[in-house]
Amino acid sequence: MKDKLRYYRQQNDLDSEDVAFMLDIPVSNYADMENGISKLPLKIMIKLCRFYGIKPDDLKSKPEEESKTVIQEPAVALGDNKPDLVSEATTVNDDEEGDEHDYPSKYDLDRSKRKISVKQAIAILKKHGTEINEEEADKVLDFIYKMAPIAIAQATREMKWQQKLEDHPNGFAIRGNKHACRLCGNGSNENERWYDRFGLKCMACQSAVNKGIVPGEVVSNHSLFYTEFNLDDYFGLKEKDLKDWIKKGLLKPRVIPRSDGKGKHYQVFLVNDHPGFLPPIAMMRIGGLVEYKENGKVFVRSSKWYEHVNPFEYLKDYTIMKYMKYKESPINPTSTLN
């Protein structure tokens, strides 16, 4: 995992100080995680995955293992309105998109140039139910100014791709492995992506969409499916139990093959494939960060959904609860951070 932390940081042209600033932790703490001296906490992993736009599984495999994957463009019949991907002539290279300007290593944090003052930031956040002090407001503004160039670059790139779709409605190839697939989150083991009305995909996921293994809508709407990570995070369903549930027919995975056709690339569990069994994933996304005290010190952790509701009452309409067991009664957290 430590190799992947360094890989994604360098892919985004960031220093350790930049990432530590985003995580709001000391640089030395982040350096220990990247060097494998200390473990990566779950809350830090979640923040990094959201920051880099990747999946938790992407932090587990080694970069050198991914680079050995043989890449083949899917040559499959796509129907009357979808030509074969290989026959599509349009290819966009990374350098054509001006990506070298997307992630500058240093950002302008000159506070004299800000159009929003600390007091204004405090007032704005207070209107939305969050109260912070001036020191915290400074950190918020620093973070916004630091992340703004990335957000602008991503939005600009998306606009360019949307414009290209007007001339190439069936999509086009994008060379380079800098951009993560919006379905599996893969950002490193293939040298080409495909962009169409469903969004950016690696060639394995693109082939799965073409073949009808998964609907194209899942690429941009992750509320339509559960991943293995989701099932573990929300229901404690570990690998052994997951395989057992699949074998018994309780769960029906949509398996996406690797580009070379050898083995599994990724799998998802569509909510629509499990009517009355799996709840809408939005129901599981409740809770948030909570404070707790230990040895007189205040810490922050991520709370689970079942700490905020009675799980058996909350999911009484879904069959999955017949197979769930809790070792101890859920305890409501003392305070939730907005």
Q: How confident is the model at residue 42 (pLDDT cuts 50, 70, 90)?
A: confident
Which residue, among 308, 299, 314, 300, has the nearest Cα to 330 in the 3D structure? Answer: 308
For residue 269, pLDDT over 50 is answered with yes
Average pLDDT over residues 48-54: 77
> What are φ and ψ of residue 239, in 5° steps?
-55, -45
Domain boundary pick from 181, 210, 239: 210
3-state secondary structure of 334: coil
Domain membership of residue 127 (yes or no) is yes
Determine if the pTM surpasses 0.85: no
Q: How far is CA 31 from CA 3, 50, 194, 301, in A?
A: 12, 19, 35, 21
Q: How confident is the model at residue 177 (pLDDT cuts 50, 70, 90)?
A: low
Instruction: Indicate which CATH number applies to the domain containing 20.
Output: 1.10.260.40
- Residue 199 is predicted with a pLDDT of 93
- Cα separation, 76 vs 208, in Å, equals 10
9-23, 49-63, 186-200, 245-259: range with lowest mean pLDDT: 49-63
Looking at mean pLDDT, say which of 5-9, 15-19, 210-214 comes out highest: 210-214
Domain membership of residue 99 (yes or no) is yes
For residue 320, pLDDT over 90 is answered with yes
Domain membership of residue 319 (yes or no) is no
DSSP 32: H
- Cα separation, 90 vs 168, in Å, equals 8
- Residue 66 is predicted with a pLDDT of 42
Q: How confident is the model at residue 326 (pLDDT cuts 50, 70, 90)?
A: low
- Residue 219 is predicted with a pLDDT of 94
In the chain, how many domains are there? Answer: 2
Domain membership of residue 311 (yes or no) is no
For residue 197, pLDDT over 80 is answered with yes
Domain boundary pick from 162, 177, 210: 210
Query: What is the average pLDDT score of the chain?
Result: 77
Residues 116 and 197 in one domain: yes
- Residue 17 is predicted with a pLDDT of 74
- Cα separation, 277 vs 256, in Å, equals 22
- Cα separation, 323 vs 318, in Å, equals 10
Residues 91 and 206 in one domain: yes
Give residue 320's region: left, alpha or beta (phi > 0; psi -120 to 50): alpha
Q: How far is CA 294 from CA 113, 160, 289, 298, 306, in A?
A: 41, 50, 16, 7, 22
Domain membership of residue 227 (yes or no) is no
- Across 178-277, the runs of DSSP E, i.e. the strands, are 192-196, 199-202, 225-226, 254-257, 264-270
- Cα separation, 276 vs 68, in Å, equals 41
Residues 99 and 44 in one domain: no
- Residue 68 is predicted with a pLDDT of 38
The residue assigned the tokens 């129901």 is 283
Residues 91 and 191 in one domain: yes
Q: How many C-beta atoms lie closer than 10 Å to residue 256's C-beta? A: 23
DSSP 180: P
Residues 180 and 110 in one domain: yes
- Residue 1 is predicted with a pLDDT of 62
- Cα separation, 131 vs 146, in Å, equals 22
Domain membership of residue 139 (yes or no) is yes
Average pLDDT over residues 47-67: 66
Which residue, among 151, 159, 146, has the nearest Cα to 97 in the 3D structure? Answer: 159
Q: Which residue has the higher pLDDT, 4 or 102?
A: 4
For residue 242, pLDDT over 80 is answered with yes
Residues 161 and 203 in one domain: yes
Q: Please give the share of the chain, as a percent, with pLDDT higher than 90.
A: 29
pLDDT tens, 277-315? 999 999 998 877 777 788 887 777 778 898 888 888 999
- Cα separation, 250 vs 322, in Å, equals 11
Domain membership of residue 283 (yes or no) is no
Residues 47 and 89 in one domain: no
Domain membership of residue 93 (yes or no) is yes
> What are φ and ψ of residue 254, in 5° steps?
-100, 105
For residue 231, pLDDT over 50 is answered with yes
- Domain region containing 129: 85-210
Domain boundary pick from 210, 243, 263: 210
Residues 13 and 94 in one domain: no
pLDDT tens, 82-132? 333 433 445 555 444 444 444 333 445 556 666 778 888 888 878 877 778
Residues 36 and 140 in one domain: no
DSSP 289: E
Q: How confident is the model at residue 13 (pLDDT cuts 50, 70, 90)?
A: low
Residues 3 and 104 in one domain: no
Residues 94 and 180 in one domain: yes
Residues 116 and 200 in one domain: yes
For residue 217, pLDDT over 90 is answered with yes
